[in-house]
Structure 1
């Protein structure tokens, strides 16, 4: 069997209930490391599309009142964490003489939503391809670690579903890893994490605009994640027409399974070479910011 069919068969396996989020990521990484990912497959392109469709589908499983409550409860934490992370990133870059452009992209990815934020902010500051690649590699590595580590910490600290969902939404970079970690923790954690994470992702727009002025770039091109608005529409639709609740449950279940396939695709885009390319400085900055956000947000949720 050639690598094309091995890749397809493994992806289809991720649609079964036997493959969990962490296992899907490992399977993807294993194929990538062994050179079994076909070059003709546009993995990153398919990942973005499938992720968007999956998130919209998850919207059908979230009730409007729950969404409003979660967003309201977490608004202060969202705003504080975003601007604290960006400020600390710029400060640390200056103190340790890190590359300003790469450091800012890593900070933006940590502050908002990983690769999506980096992709949105990059044209606004006219970032070089090398800086974008280093920032993305850093975020990918930390995302992969978060998917495994956060549920373990959550259970060790005996966090309830709501608290874990909010913590994952704030402290994990990419939406896919947030959903993966939260789904491994529980159904309620998944709903809370998805809602709050997408509320946080909306801050891509103002942050990209602010970034344009910080870097004095003439560019005004901003990549807006439109699927967030469709996600909101799905919540409204299911709330206005509750008689189709059985259909919404099916859509929600399919979306959860597609999210596992997304994690398989993300894993297949990670390689040892990419991890090495990330280098020490971006990774050091990424880890410091990630620890600050993770610890700070958890203390906020537990004691404030």
Structure 2
């Protein structure tokens, strides 16, 4: 058989196989799109309603309005099962995308610009938050993912940290809502109380900026507290807060390892896998790789500074959409069942972190 004949016989078949596979892939994509569209559109509409509310009341923020409006709407109309695939898509892939977009606004140079003198305070308050969550959670009987989410949210960056942790832990949606509600409650108190205490204690703008940047959680609340104290404290507090956000990388990797080991024990008995036996995608989730890559691009100057406001708004809107999806899946009975102990845990951690920030500043002579 000649080569020309062979080519004539093989090419059409190969082309036909490729065409069939492409058509099948497109069909599957369309079917999946139809499946997730209703719930995703509903979550987007809730996020669109929450966004102007967040701008009007920045101390609350659009993400909190998103989950509250979703919860209220779910209680009123009880979304059916046909909306669940789209709501789950909002709560998972959309949430992961929000973290990647957030990375494009964080330059690794900003870590160096804060200076080594503030690093002990940031790392110390993070250790207090995580260690306190473990110890106090055991004492209060708040265990599992709720305990972890409140600790990470208090120690790093509020809703964004909870969102990133949710992507690897896959907790119950009621646990996510309770953790965000707890963080939100003490953010409000911090914005109202911190500036007055800072003036009462005679803190300098730099000292207050470091305090607000390490002891207040969501960025909007950090900005509100710091600029309420003084215009000079605001920019420094924001830089500290951005540096705290970079702590998401090691913490989420550690949580991914912990969850993989926990799942392996639940599925396989007593054996605990070592590092080498863990699937790399569970150890380093793809969205976290995207977050780091986006941050590296920003550090290299490939993300223009003029894009940062739009990227920040996009990330916030995606987080709001994700939390709206979570809220729409919740029932008030799910939250009532948690009781007041998680709120007590969040309050105790908030006091510990605020006090340790000032204490570490005094010890390191940055106060």
Normalization by structure 2: what TM-score? 0.58
In the alignment, which of 299, 308, 312 is matched to residue 252 of structure 1?
Answer: 308
- Is structure 2 residue 337 aligned with structure 1 residue 297? no
CA contact (8 A) 1:74 1:166 kept: yes
Which of these residues, 181, 185, 190, is aligned with residue 145 of structure 1?
185
Task: Indicate the RMSD between aligned Cα atoms, in angstroms.
Answer: 4.3
Q: Can you list the C-alpha shifts for 1:51-109, whole angstroms capped at 9, x where unaligned?
A: 431441x23xx693x43032633321233233333333333344455546754554455
User: Residue 86 of structure 1 aligns to a residue in which SS?
Assistant: helix
The residue that corresponds to 1:195 in the other structure is 242
Aligned-pair CA distance for 1:230: 2.0
Indicate yes or no: 2:349 matched with 1:285. no
Which of 110, 118, 124 in structure 2 is aligned with 1:74? 118
Deviations 1:114-152 (A, max 9, x none): 4256447748xxxxx55xx56533321122224433332
Aligned with residue 180 of structure 1, among 220, 235, 239: 220
Could you report, residue by residue, the CA deviation over 1:21-42 in whole angstroms, capped at 9, with x for unpaired residues? Answer: 6253464245224317974354
1:222 to 283, 288, 295: 283
Separation in structure 1 between the aligned mates of residue 343 and residue 70 of structure 2, nearest angstrom: 21
* Contact 2:95–2:322 under 8 Å retained in 1: yes
- Where in structure 2 are the equivalents of 1:119-158 lying within 5 Å? 119=166, 122=169, 129=171, 133=173, 135-156=175-196, 157-158=198-199
Inter-partner Cα distance in structure 1 for 2:44 and 2:149: 36
Distance in 2 separating the partners of 1:199 and 1:5 = 28
Contact 1:137–1:277 under 8 Å retained in 2: no
CA 1:229–1:166: 2 relative to 1, 3 Å = farther
Q: 1:212 & 1:3 partners in 2: Cα distance? A: 31
**Residues 229/150 of structure 1: CA separation in 2 closer, same or farther (3 Å cut):** farther
SS where residue 203 of structure 1 aligns? helix
Q: Take 2:185 and 2:152, find their aligned partners in 1: how far apart are those partners? A: 19
Quote the offset at 1:204 in angstroms.
1.1
Corresponding residue of 1:236: 300
Q: Separation in 2 of the partners of 1:70 and 1:52?
A: 23
8 Å CA contact retained: 2:249, 2:292 = yes
Structure 2: 5+ residue runs without aligned partners? Answer: 1-40, 228-233, 266-271
Q: May I ask how many residue pairs the two structures share in their alignment?
A: 279
Query: Contact 1:102–1:282 at 8 Å: present in 2 too?
Result: yes
> Which residue number in structure 2 is paired with residue 242 of structure 1?
none
Aligned to 2:22: none
Which of 92, 96, 103 is the matching residue for 1:48? Answer: 96
CA-CA distance at 1:299 after TM superposition: 3.7
Structure 1 CA distance, aligned partners of 2:116 and 2:223? 22
Greater Cα radius of gyration, structure 1 or 2: 2
Q: What's 2:20 paired with? A: none
Match of 2:127 in 1: 83
The structure-2 alpha-carbon separation of the partners of 1:33 and 1:198, relative to structure 1 and needing over 3 Å to count, comes to closer
